[in-house]
Structure 1
Amino acid sequence: MGKYEINKSSSGNYFYALKAPNSETILISEQFTTHSAAKSAIQQSMANCSRADKFRIRESSNGKPYFQLVAANGAILGSSPLYSSNVSLESGIESVRKYGGPEAAIVDVLGSSKAVQKIGSVRTYITAIESLPQDSGSVVFFRGHGDVSYKLLPSLYRNSGWVRNEHVIFQELVLRCPDDFQLSGPTFNTLVKMQHYALPTRLLDITTNPLIALYFSCADGGTTDAEVIVFKIPKNEIRYYDSDRVSLISNIGRLPQHTRFPIGRNADEFNSDDDVIKLIREIQREKPYFVARVNPIDISSVVCVKPVLDNPRIIKQDGAFLLFGVDGEKGKPATVPEQYLLTSEEFKIVIRGSDKIKILEQLESLGITRSTIYPEIEHVAGYLKDRYSD
């Protein structure tokens, strides 16, 4: 994955450098008087670098070729280094097209003071969110963690016993509450219902509403610093509840703890493995038409899934899910792709623990409360009880 690094010149102006995964600089911007102008140029570069007509080939005074990336209005967004030949120049253009798109990371190297945004109010939170890059080809999602030390893992992987007995939990719940799951449909819908009732699953809740995520980061009311994680997921990689890839990953939960999926084998060898065959049979229980062939990459992926909006809580929370596959075996979760993360070690949104109560009060004035996020009567009753107690 490529990355845009924002820096400051000796003259005090801002510029960016686009770097390939090997850290080679492949594009350098013009200089800008403000930091926001540099970030705006990055957004334009991301949008234009896929278009061949936005590259202009030039020649330096010493006869060496280079290219420029231009905006829709003809403004120069960035220039390449000088090349020794036209062949290497064409290779440079391909590198910019490959590594400079919306999936590229943006790193501000102007100092560690900007690596962590300390949030103490809704206003500063919104300001931090607005500073993050967005593009029309992606959807931004948010997740609030009550403790900044929490890892980005679904509840299933927070206890080894839950992982070990995932298939047992799955079967026991359906066995004990058959009426609740009789019409659930796809296995993914069953996982959503399990998540609703606080059972550990391989789902991680996310939301398109930044204020909902802020509420969850503060909801425990403690004094531990919290965090809001921001995702930027390409629209063409978002799946729906009935997707074949969603069915594949969801049904991993039905398999026993010793399940292993061979890593590093070709597709034919992979699909002849006994555990892969067992997984295919589970999928075909809900999708008889499912072709008995699995892409190994799908099993080790993390997928953003839009659920059926048949749950008041999901509707109120503007909810979606990250569905976690496995890294070779059930005990090892797949990893969220780095390109999905807008926040990272380079830029964190940390909520001050000492300000959680104040932020919750500010959110209440905006209509974000326990009773609106959890519309079920027991939660509304609990909110009213707490709201009017002495």
Structure 2
Amino acid sequence: MNINEKEETIDITSLIDFLSSLQKLNTSKSTEVYFRGQNQSYGNTLPGIYRPGLLKHEEELFRSFLVRDPVLFNVYSDGNTNFDRLALMQHHGLPTRLLDLTRNPLVALFFAVSGENQHSGEVVLFSNRLNKDYLSELPIVEQQTLTTLLAINESHPVSALQVVKSVFSDQIEVESSLVRLPLSAKEDITKVLNKLYAKPKDEWIHLFELASSSTRSMIDGFDENRPVVKLYHEIRRDIHDFTTDIDPLAFLVPKIVTPRVIDNRIKNQQGLFLFTPFVDTSLTGFEQATQNRLNLLRVTNGSKMVRFSIPCDSKADILAELAQCGITEDFIYPDHSHIASSIKDKFTTTENE
């Protein structure tokens, strides 16, 4: 599952190094870049739910938090969606399939250099554009389906390929509701999807010529599959008047979602989430298959994914440089406890000098 051999690693020893290296990246003006900082390299960018033993309990983790702390979820006057709940759980430290990203590269760098100093930190980059160079890493049916959809997209917009989604998006509601189904139901749905993706290329093209940007008319019998009926039931428990048809093609790509701003922490961090797509967990190597899907949004320099590495002995200096720019712990975490801790540390350091 290690992806380092497919990456270009750029060593960073100062803030100037980091900013200079970012400027040299060859990204188009229409490309939005998102950043993730980690205080050590894990060899992957999988979210917390992929830690050993947790994925099979995804639905139970969601339900248990909802039952144990119901007051937390009364934050929106217009009610909560399943994605709102998932985002709140991630915000408060529950392992989910959401991966924390930021629009601010300095915030990502802070996360890469703060905390323990025994390992090198890293910053990895994602974007709002699918990376065609990494389609070959996907299973053949997914590869062929996405290749065909991308070709069709050049003349007929394919909504299933839209990566950036609103928190109110129907597809985000669909996938957030799927989180709430047990593992066996998720596996059943991914099997139904894989069967659909295996349609011959000529059939895809013909169906899209008939349906244009819509996929509804090409999904004969999809809604009648028992696991899909269960998913509709779960969605309508959350949104009673949900009448949108599920687009099975939209499950293929990861999504970038901006959460609603509920506190200054999200505001200051300029945070957003990468929604990790569902793969068939009954198959050997499903973790790598998931990572390969996420890699579709990685920023590349040439043919390799960009990764900034910060040696452990440079972390303290960069942290001090970030503080001079106002990127401090109490800016990243502007709650009462962190503000108090920051004030205490300032006076403790002064006394020791």
Q: TM-score normalized by structure 1?
A: 0.66
Distance 1:238 1:380 in 2: 34
In structure 1, what residue type is equivalent to 2:168?
A: D
Aligned letter for 2:11?
K
SS in 1 for 2:183: coil
Residue of structure 2 aligned with 1:155, choices 48, 73, 78: 48
1:173 to 65, 74, 78: 65
Aligned residue number for residue 175 of structure 2:
249
- 2:243 maps to a residue whose letter is V
| Alpha-carbon displacement from aligned partner over 1:279-311 (angstroms, at most 9, x marks no partner) | 111112223333364222323431000111222
How far 1:217 sits from its partner (Å)?
Answer: 0.5
1:289 is the counterpart of 2:246: no
CA distance in 2, matches of 1:367, 1:133: 28
Give the equivalent residue in structure 2 for 1:349.
308
Residues 357, 188 of structure 1: CA spacing in aligned structure 2 closer, same or farther, 3 A cutoff? same
Q: Is the 8 A contact 1:132 1:342 kept in 2?
A: no
3-state secondary structure, aligned to 1:137 = coil
The CA distance in 2 between the partners of 1:153 and 1:337, in whole Å, is: 8
Task: State the partner residue of 2:95.
Answer: 200
The Cα shift of 1:234 comes to 4.0
Q: Report SS of the residue matched to 1:326.
A: coil
> Is the 8 Å Cα contact of residues 173 and 235 (structure 2) preserved in structure 1?
yes
Matched, 1:384 2:314: no
Superposed CA RMSD: 2.4
Name the counterpart of 2:195.
265
Q: Deviations over 1:233-280 (max 9, x none)?
A: 149531111101111111122111222122432333543332222111
Q: What secondary structure is seen at the aligned counterpart in 1 of 2:309?
A: strand
Matched, 1:371 2:264: no
- What is the Cα deviation at residue 229 of structure 1? 0.7
| Alignment match of 1:320 (pick from 253, 256, 272) | 272
Aligned residues of 1:248 and 1:299 also touching (Cα < 8 A): no
Structure 1: give runs of 5+ residues left out of the alignment: 1-111
Shift of 1:167: 1.2
> What are the residue-to-residue correspondences of 1:1-390 with 2, within 5 Å?
115-160=8-53, 162-182=54-74, 183=76, 185-234=80-129, 237-259=163-185, 260=187, 261=189, 262=191, 263-266=193-196, 267-291=219-243, 293-329=245-281, 332=286, 334-335=290-291, 336-343=293-300, 345=304, 347-389=306-348, 390=352
Q: Tell me if structure 1 keeps the 8 A contact 2:113–2:318.
A: yes
Work out the CA distance in 2 between the residues paired with 1:240 and 1:380.
32
- Give the deviation of 1:218 after TM superposition: 0.7
User: Structure 1 residues 169, 131: closer, same or farther in 2, change over 3 A?
Assistant: same
Calculate percent identity across the aligned residue pairs: 28
Report the AA paired with residue 44 of structure 2.
K
SS in 2 for 1:138: coil
Q: What is the rounded CA distance, in whole Å, between the counterparts of 2:343 and 2:52 in structure 1? A: 33
Size of the aligned set, in residue pairs, is 277
Query: Equivalent residue of 1:383, what SS?
Result: helix
Superposition deviation, residue 330 in structure 1: 8.4
- Is the 1:223–1:356 contact (alpha carbons within 8 Å) kept by the matching residues of 2? no
Question: AA paired with 2:103?
Answer: T
Secondary structure at 1:265 match in 2? helix
Partners of 1:202 and 1:323 within 8 A in 2:
yes
Match of 1:38 in 2: none
Greater percentage in helix: 2
AA matched with 2:165: R
3-state SS, counterpart of residue 262 of structure 2: coil
**Matched residue SS, 1:279:** helix
Task: Give the structure with higher Rg (CA).
Answer: 1
SS at match of 1:198: coil
Question: CA offset at residue 175 of structure 1?
Answer: 1.2
Cα separation, 1, equivalents of 2:306 and 2:277: 26
**In structure 2, how many angstroms separate the alpha carbons of the residues matched to 1:346 and 1:245?**
27
